[in-house]
Each structure stands twice: as C-alpha cells, then as structure tokens.
A and B are shown apart, each in its own frame.
Chain A
Amino acid sequence: MHVVIINGSPRVQKYSNTEKIIAAFAKGLSEKDVTFETYAVSNRSTWDRIRDAYLKNDEILIALPLYVECVPGLLLEFLETLPRKDEQTRLSFILQSGFAEGCQLRCGEAFLEKLPEYLGVRYGGCLVKGDNFGIRLLEEEKQAQATKPYQAMGRLFAEGDGFFREEAEKFTGPESFSLPMRLLMGLIFKTLARKMFQKAAASWGCRVPLDEKVWETGR
C-alpha cells in the first residue's frame, strides 16, 4: 500500500497540530511497511502537485482540523479544484478538533462521509478525535507523547480496512462527559485553565486579559 497524505490545515506546517498527528500516524504506517508521501494545502504553491498526486494514486488520506463544525475554508477551496475520479480511489479522513467530546465532531464527519460521492471516489472512513488544541503549546517531547496514540491508528490503517474497524471507532473516546466530570472540568475552566491560558498568552507577548472587549473599549 502507498498512501498520499494531505494535511488539510490552513496553519503553517511548523505550528500545525495536524502535521504532528500525521507524523505519528505515518510512523505507524512505516512499521507495517506501508509507504506514503505527504502534502499540505497551507502551501498554495504546491496545489498542482497535490492534485497530481491525488489523480495518480488510489489511496488518499486527508487529515484536517475541524473549523466551525466543518472543513476549513482553504481546504474547501482546494477540494473544489479536484476533478471527478473513479471508484478505484479510496478517500479516508482524520478529523481532529480542540473540543474534547466526540459529539462535537459529528457534524464535520457527516460532511466528510458524503464528500467522496461528490468526487466520484470511495469512502474509506473517518478517524475522529478531539482534545488536540494544546499540542502546539507543548514542548517537543510532550508533543510526541500526546500524538503517540495515532501511531497505533497508522498500524491499523495499514491493515487495509480504512477506518471502519472497531478500534478506529473507539479511538474517539467519550461522546460527551458525565455530569460529575462536567462540574469538575467547569470549575477548572473558571480557575486553573484561565490562569494557564493567560500564562501561555503572556509567553506570546500578550499583555491584556484574554476576554478583553476590544471594540467596546475603543482600543
């Protein structure tokens, strides 16, 4: 098997969480002797090459972050440039998001489920996973730790059943959190998390509160 992996994130590759997820996933592919080539739609100058790889190969995987309940605008623009292909081609997806619960990604997944039909190709399933926002804020070693579970999904994908196996379905984790968990997390959101976000912001050079009402204060 040879997989064309397209990073559908509009963020530059260096800071892309999706890129780190792809790296871990591809490691899993390699362990099973599956070869791959990777592309990123964030670099518009490579779109002709991506389209070429899409047309010449029959195992395509698009990994993308959820942007407002669906595909990011830039990826949507790229997808509109793809010509129709045939059923020999299989198109699979890794859909990742910041929000942690599985239910947050289902609207995006529903779009991806139907997309292959519009493109004339076969659907290979969608690996769905939230809670990835923080990856870019972690140190390199911790980034590798956070994305390691995707390596096992690479190995699973190499077995040829796309993301239709039970292991891929389970990978999403909980659809939603229980009430006690929500109460606990809600408390953390109001206290510790705010401090952590403000600290991260300070390291980015931010000197104002993160919830500042910029336009009302006329700044």
Chain B
Amino acid sequence: MVLLIDTTTEHIGTTIEDELLRSGKHAAGFERIDTTGMRISHCVGCNDCWLKTPGVCAIRDDYEPVLRKMSAADQVWLISDTHFGFVSWQTKNIVDRVMPIVTMYLKFKDGQMRHVMRYDHQPDIGIIYTGDGDQAYLERWCQRTALNLGSRSLGVFSERRGKEAVSCML
C-alpha cells in the first residue's frame, strides 16, 4: 500500500494522486491524507511511548490513525513545502512523532547504534517537495531517516518531477 501524506499549502498531493491514477500503478492500493485542518501536535519528547505506555503516544490528537497507516504501508511519501531548504515543520512533526513504532531497546546495525523497531514491517520513505528544497540535503536526510526505521529511502523529488516519483510507487 502506498500512503501519501500531504502537508502542502497548495495541496499538491491531489496532482500526485491524479498522476498515480493515470499511470495505472495503483493496483496495490493507495491512500492520500491531507493534513489540512487536522490537529497534529509536535513531539514533546516526553518518552512515554518508550517507557510509560510502550507504543502509545501520550498526545491524544489526530495523529495516531496516521501513524497506524504509516506503520502498515509499504511506502510513505511525505509531500511537503520547504523552508531553509528542508521539509516544513508540519512534515517534520509527522516524522518526529513516529517514536511509538520504535522501541527504547538498542542494537548495532551496519556499525551504528539503532533502536529496535516495535513491529516487523517497516515502510520505505520518499519525499516530494515544493519550493526551493536543498535536493542533496533532503536526500541525505531521507536516507538517514529510513536507516533509523530499518527501511529504505525511495528518493527525493521536486514537484516538477512528480511523474518520476509516481514511477517509483508500487
């Protein structure tokens, strides 16, 4: 399943969805979430999801259903505006709050410390961005983020390269 999470002010996820439908590549199923109007807080770093109520976030807002879908998806595409060449804070909040699917436990993988993931299945992560994103930095960040989740980066695409991104979808 492909999950599109759109935080952009121009809702460009709809264009990506149209492209996906046109391409006929949606057989495995997809869902688009537009976060406009949703109550999604930033992570407050309370550590409850690791140490108090493992796997459950202490913040009761609209995020948990999103995380459940992310956890079950094969691919998560973050569709984001950019500031400072990086994803927007709205998208960063969505990524910061994945900690319930990560456990407190540690291990070494490929020579570096990693957290042990809570579930066996991990989604691969891709980025589609608007504006003046720093392509090289976004690629680096996406790869590192996927590494932390025990998955792979699907690549980083500017809005103009939306078609190319769609070609990487299942």
Interface residues of A (CB under 8 A from B): 9-12, 15-16, 42, 65, 67-74, 76-77, 79-80, 99-101, 103-104, 107, 110-111, 114-115, 118, 136, 176-177, 182, 185-186, 189-190, 193-194, 197, 200-201, 204-206, 208-216
Contacts and interface: CB of A to CB of B under 8 A. Distances in A.
Contacts of B98: 68
Nearest to A216: B119
B66 interface: no
Interface of B: 42-48, 50-56, 68, 71, 83-86, 88-90, 92-93, 95-96, 98, 100, 103-108, 111-113, 116, 118-119, 134, 137, 140-141, 144-145, 148
Given A73-B93, A73-B96, A114 B134 contact: yes
A210 B148 contact: no
Given A72-B96, A210-B50, A215-B71, A182 B86 contact: no
A40 to B, nearest CB: 12
A141 to B, nearest CB: 22
A73 B42 contact: yes
Nearest to B142: A69
A201 B105 contact: no
A210 B45 contact: no
Contacts of B44: 10-12, 42
Given A68-B98, A80-B83, A118-B84, A210 B54 contact: yes
A45 B14 CA distance: 35
Given A10-B43, A70-B86, A204-B48, 5 more contacts: A12-B44, A68-B145, A69-B141, A70-B141, A118-B85
Contacts, number: 151
A115 B51 CA distance: 33
A79 B144 CA distance: 23
Given A65-B45, A70-B86, A107 B108 contact: no
Nearest to B72: A215
B89 A215 contact: no
A200 B113 CA distance: 20
A179 to B, nearest CB: 8
A101 B43 contact: no
A111 B137 contact: yes
Contacts of A115: 84
B68 A215 contact: yes
Interface centre among A76, A114, A201 (most CB of B within 10 A): A76
A42 B41 CA distance: 12
A69 B43 contact: no
